[in-house]
Each structure stands twice: as structure tokens, then as C-alpha cells.
Amino acid sequence: MKYNPEIHHRRSIRLKGYDYTQPGAYFVTFCSHQRMHVFGEVVNGEMVLNDAGKIARDEWFKTAELRPYVKLFEDEFVIMPNHGHGIIWIEDEVGTRRRRVLDWDEQRARQHRAPTYTPTGESFGKPVKGSVPTIVRAYKSAVTYMVNAAENQRGAVLWQKNYYEHVIRNDRELNNIRWYILNNPLNWQLDRDNVQNIRKLSPPENVEEYIKDVGDMVLRLKADNLRSLRKFKER
């Protein structure tokens, strides 16, 4: 199905009352305007970035340089022809350990130690310093500015409004999402953001569909590995 912005509208699912400044790992996805291919192309299972794609990659890691409470890692980010996936780690004063996330009960317990009316909640026109929405908004703005400057133009729309986000709840989920990110170029023909994907599925409309796709792709990998193992034993 061809991408239709009236049908495939993006919707950011945020947990009501959740403090997006608290320590933890957050899976985010941001898409180009109308999912146009503006960042490069996939060739033989590898992403080949054009100038806009290189800017998008470089600005992502500058985010951590500008914000000491943010940690970003090479194996947890990818720029694709029309979208990007990344994991944002927000550290507390002693640092959040990489490769481990607070389980969901721990995260909710931390959240409920403070009233939900504290000024950490996002509202329209009032960005909250250190929150995931503010970090992503600043990143997208920086990429847009740099791409427009490089192409000697002003005001060109680069991104869909807003983005998709998911609070990573445990290590299993973290590992699945990391695998999904790393193998995104290799699985481009199956990717729902590829309007010509061989699964003939439309682009995800919300973050739950992205998370379901992560699970589906991991199950597909396990099934492929099992078939390969059986063929090896039959030799």
C-alpha cells in the first residue's frame, strides 16, 4: 500500500503521568516527511548514507556530547532511507549501567515516588529540559537546520511531526530492540517503513506496531536459525 499521510498518521504513545526525564532506556523512532527517501539507500543489505543521512547520523551522537546525562551507542542507532531508530539512555547522578535496564516494576516504583503534577510532564509549547521529547525535538531541529544549510535552502520540511517512543522495560526487550536496530538494513525488504516491503504491510501507525514488529522479526530470526540447524544436522 502506498503511503498516505491521511491514513498512516503518526501517533506518539506516551504513558500518562510518566516522567520522561527519569533514568532508563528509551526506544525512539522518527520518520521523514511522508516517509520520503531522503537519507540514502540500502545496497546489498547495507545502508549507504547520502549527505543528509550523514548529517542525521552525526547530529545524533552530538546529542550526547551536548548533554552529559545522555548516553548513546553505535550499536543502538541506525539511519534508514526514510526513518531512524535509536535507544536513548538517560543517566542519574551515579550513571545508569549500560546493558541493563530497570525492570518495569522498578521504573513504575521510581515514578510514583514523586507526584505526577511535578513540572517534568511535557505540554505543548513548554519543553522540559532533559526529557526524551525535548531531546528528540532538539535533534530533529538540528538535522533540519543543517540539511537545509547544506542544500542552500530554507524552510524545507524534513520530518514527520512528533515521533514514536517506547520505555524499554527489561533486558530481554532491550536485546531484541538492539538486534532489530542492528539488522534493520539487512531486513529492509521486510521493513514496514519500506512501502515496497515483500510482506505487503503498511507502515506502522503507532509505537505498539513497531514493538510488535520487533517481536515478529526476532521470531523470524529464531525460525531461520532453527531451520539452518536442522539442515546442518541432516548432512
Q: What pLDDT, in 10s, does the model give residues 194-217?
A: 999 999 999 998 999 999 999 999
Mean pLDDT value of segment 153-169 = 92
pLDDT > 90: percent of the chain: 60
pLDDT category at 106 given cuts 50, 70, 90 is low
Q: How far is CA 1 from CA 30, 98, 163, 198, 217, in A?
A: 20, 39, 21, 11, 20
Task: Give long-range contacts, CB 8 A cutoff, 24+ apart: 102-111.
Answer: 102/23, 102/24, 103/169, 103/170, 104/169, 104/170, 107/22, 107/24, 107/167, 107/169, 110/22, 110/23, 111/17, 111/18, 111/19, 111/22
97 or 84: which leads in pLDDT: 84
pLDDT for residue 6:
43
pLDDT category at 91 given cuts 50, 70, 90 is confident
pLDDT for residue 92:
73
Name the grid cell of 109: 516504583
| pLDDT above 60 for 93 | no
Of 16-25, 89-98, 117-126, 141-150, the poorest mean pLDDT is in 117-126
| pLDDT above 60 for 17 | no
Q: Find, among 32, 29, 55, 53, the residue nearest to 43 by Cα.
A: 53
pLDDT category at 12 given cuts 50, 70, 90 is very low
CATH of 24-233, picked from 3.30.70.1290, 3.90.1640.30, 3.40.50.300, 3.40.50.720, is 3.30.70.1290
pLDDT for residue 22:
77
pLDDT for residue 222:
78
pLDDT for residue 99:
43
| pLDDT above 60 for 23 | yes
| pLDDT above 80 for 166 | yes
